[in-house]
Amino acid sequence: MDKRMSALEFALENELKERDFYLSNARKTKNLAGKNMFKQIADEEKEHYEMLKKLHDKWEKQKKWPATVPLKVKKSLTKNILRALSGKRAARIEGNDDDLKAIRTAIDFEARGVALYTKLEKQSTEPKEKAFFNLLASVEREHLLSLRDTEQFLTDPASWYQNTEKTLLDGA
């Protein structure tokens, strides 16, 4: 349990650092898509932190996996952000190199989060514990995919629109 508790403490620390990173970059970026993506992920990371903190406190107190940890987080809204902005003039403000660097750093954060929560799930023997970490890994994976979409939106908007709209190139 000590190894998993240490990993949980590491995860708590990371959720806070990531949230601060997302909020900071939401303030800096001029691109509306990046700004909204960063704000949304910051809100979701806060929810993850609060859930992990409750788990940590109960686990520490009871010296075992708590029976009453919620196995639910709100559905991530990140994948809707780019679609909602699609075609809006404000979304066409190009991202600069700093925006792109921030997106790529965020992609790295989320990939590490997926790896950590997947590892914790595999180390777990308790079904509820496995389900909890699987849930967190899946939400982080959703963030990862949304950030990759944002990266494409900033670097190659034409391809992003084509992929999103699923346009058919029939030559007509």
**47 domain residue, yes or no:** yes
Range of the structural domain that residue 70 is part of: 2-164
In a domain, 109, yes or no: yes
State residue 150's pLDDT score: 83
pLDDT in tens, 81-95: 666 656 655 455 566
Mean pLDDT of the chain: 80
pLDDT band at 21 (very low <50, low <70, confident <90, very high): very high
The residue with tokens 């939106």 is: 153
Per-residue pLDDT tens for 147-160? 888 888 878 777 77
2 sits in which H/E element? helix 2-28
- Predicted pLDDT at 19: 95
pTM of the model: 0.78
In a domain, 139, yes or no: yes
CATH assignment at residue 160: 1.20.1260.10
Q: Which of 43-47, 63-67, 97-101, 120-124 has the lowest mean pLDDT?
A: 63-67
169 in a structural domain: no
End-to-end CA distance of the chain: 63
Is residue 44 domain-resident? Answer: yes
In a domain, 85, yes or no: yes
- Domain presence at residue 127: yes
Total domain count for the chain? 1
Does an H or E element contain 74, and which? none
Domain membership of residue 172 (yes or no) is no
Would you say 1 and 62 are in contact if contact means Cβ atoms under 8 Å apart? no
Tell me how many degrees the CA angle 23-138-98 measures, rounded to the nearest 5: 30
pLDDT in tens, 50-80: 988 988 898 888 887 777 666 566 666 666 6
